[in-house]
Each structure stands twice: as structure tokens, then as C-alpha cells.
């Protein structure tokens, strides 16, 4: 069922940073944001430790995916900004009531409240879309991200062993984490 446009995350959510009291603004992405989004995505991918995507990235393919996500009724793309500077990005896609979540934070803004602001926006969007669960994958070595997700109630649901092949040939594990939002609906009677 298509999601009405007014339910997309166009409002601004503000939270004060615990460390330096700068304001993090999370807003819906627009087509004009692609260049800044791509620069940040490329920067984090180039670190080679935090994302599934690895540098170099195909700009044309990423633009197509970015614009497709913006147009999708079952998706949300948001940006976190601090004083007009892009500090993080968030992507969500709803499938059969489960909101798949992906996010990244610029190196200079990690540990300063940007991830928490993005997570609050993600959970608000998922609740507004009546998702019964939010799901994500994260590298096991990304301790800061795992701690952030646990802070918001996510639990580890599984570990994919030697699952993702990196360009250098290494096989990396991934943690699967989930947060159940609907605790009232009955579960399967089959265990």
C-alpha cells in the first residue's frame, strides 16, 4: 500500500548534543542533496571499515539508487546536519512491516549525538509507518554502532559467518540486529 506523501519525514527533529551543545537537525533528503550525500558516503566507504560498500563507488549507479529511494513510497532518506554541515545519513525501507535501516556518520561527528539523532528519526518514521520491527546489519568490529543500537533496544538476532566478501578477498561476518516495535500482536503458534 503506498505511503501518503505527508507521512514522509519532512519535519525537522532537533536534539542537543551532549558534548558541545550543537544542534543536530535531521531532515528529509531531496534530489539537490545528492552531491553532498555522495561525498559523505564516499568518504566513509573509503575508510574501508564501516560500510558494506567499498571505494571507489559508481557515482551514476548511486545517483540512480538515491533518486529511486527518494521517490519510493515505502522508503525514507534523511540527512543529519550540524550548522549546515552534513554530518550523517539515514536510509529506511519498509518491506512486509519490517523497516530495514542503514546509516552512517561522518568521522568528525562520531560520538557527538548525530547517530542518536538519526536513530530517533528512524524509530519515529518506523512507528509512523506502523512497522512491527526495525532490522539492520552491522560489522561485529563496529563497537560504537553496536552500542548505539543496543542503547535503543536492538538485540542481536544472528551472526552471518564469513558472509560478505570484501574486494581484498577477505570474508567478513555481520551481526543481524532487530528491534520489535509491536509486542501486542500474537506470535506464531508453531514456535
The CATH superfamily label for domain 10-136 reads: Gcn5-related N-acetyltransferase (GNAT) (3.40.630.30)
165: number of Cβ within 10 Å: 10
Domain ranges in the chain?
10-136
pLDDT at 108 over 70: yes
Mean pLDDT of 166-172: 97
Q: What is the pLDDT of residues 135-144, one digit of tens each?
A: 999 999 999 9
Helix, strand, coil percentages, rounded to 5, for the chain: 30, 35, 35
CA angle 170, 87, 60 (to 5 degrees): 60
Written as nine digits, the cell of 139 is 560489522
Tell if the pTM clears 0.75, that is, is over it.
yes
> How far is it, in rounded angstroms, from Cα 138 to Cα 116?
16
User: Computed over its alpha carbons, how large is the radius of gyration of the chain?
Assistant: 17
- The confidence score (pLDDT) of residue 22 equals 84
Min mean pLDDT across 8-22, 25-39, 121-135, 140-154 is at 8-22
Greater model confidence, 10 or 173: 173
Q: What is the pLDDT of residues 41-73, one digit of tens each?
A: 999 999 999 999 999 999 999 999 999 999 999
Is-contact 45 55, C-beta < 8 A?
yes
Is-contact 145 138, C-beta < 8 A?
yes
Is-contact 105 50, C-beta < 8 A?
no
Rounded to the nearest integer, the mean pLDDT of the chain is 91
Residue 82's H or E segment, with its range, is strand 75-82
Residue 101's H or E segment, with its range, is strand 98-105
171: number of Cβ within 10 Å: 10
Mean pLDDT of 28-49: 97
The 3-state DSSP class for residue 177 equals strand
Under the banding of pLDDT at 50, 70 and 90, the label for residue 6 is very low
pLDDT at 30 over 70: yes
Under the banding of pLDDT at 50, 70 and 90, the label for residue 191 is confident
- Where do runs of H (alpha helix) occur along 32-159? 34-47, 59-71, 114-128, 143-151
Greater model confidence, 183 or 16: 183
Backbone angles phi, psi at 135, to 5 degrees: -130, 145
Amino acid at each position: 500500500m503506498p505511503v501518503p506523501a505527508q507521512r514522509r519525514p519532512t519535519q525537522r527533529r532537533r536534539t542537543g548534543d551532549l558534548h558541545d551543545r550543537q544542534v543536530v537537525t535531521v531532515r528529509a533528503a531531496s534530489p539537490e542533496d545528492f552531491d553532498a550525500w555522495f561525498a559523505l558516503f564516499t568518504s566513509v566507504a573509503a575508510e574501508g571499515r564501516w560500510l558494506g560498500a567499498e571505494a571507489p563507488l559508481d557515482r551514476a549507479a548511486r545517483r540512480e539508487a538515491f533518486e529511486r529511494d527518494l521517490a519510493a513510497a515505502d522508503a525514507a532518506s534523511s540527512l543529519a546536519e550540524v550548522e549546515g554541515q552534513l554530518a550523517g545519513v539515514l536510509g529506511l525501507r519498509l518491506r512486509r512491516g519490517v523497516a530495514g535501516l542503514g546509516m552512517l556518520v561522518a568521522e568528525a561527528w562520531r560520538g557527538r549525538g548525530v547517530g542518536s539523532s538519526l536513530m530517533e528519526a528512524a524509530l519515529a518514521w518506523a512507528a509512523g509507518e506502523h512497522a512491527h520491527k526495525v532490522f539492520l546489519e552491522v560489522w561485529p568490529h563496529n563497537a560504537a554502532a553496536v552500542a548505539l543500537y543496543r542503547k535503543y533496544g536492538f538485540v542481536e538476532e544472528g551472526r552471518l559467518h564469513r558472509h560478505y566478501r570484501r574486494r581484498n578477498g577477505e570474508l567478513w561476518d555481520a551481526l543481524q540486529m532487530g528491534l520489535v516495535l509491536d509486542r501486542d500482536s500474537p506470535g506464531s503458534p508453531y514456535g
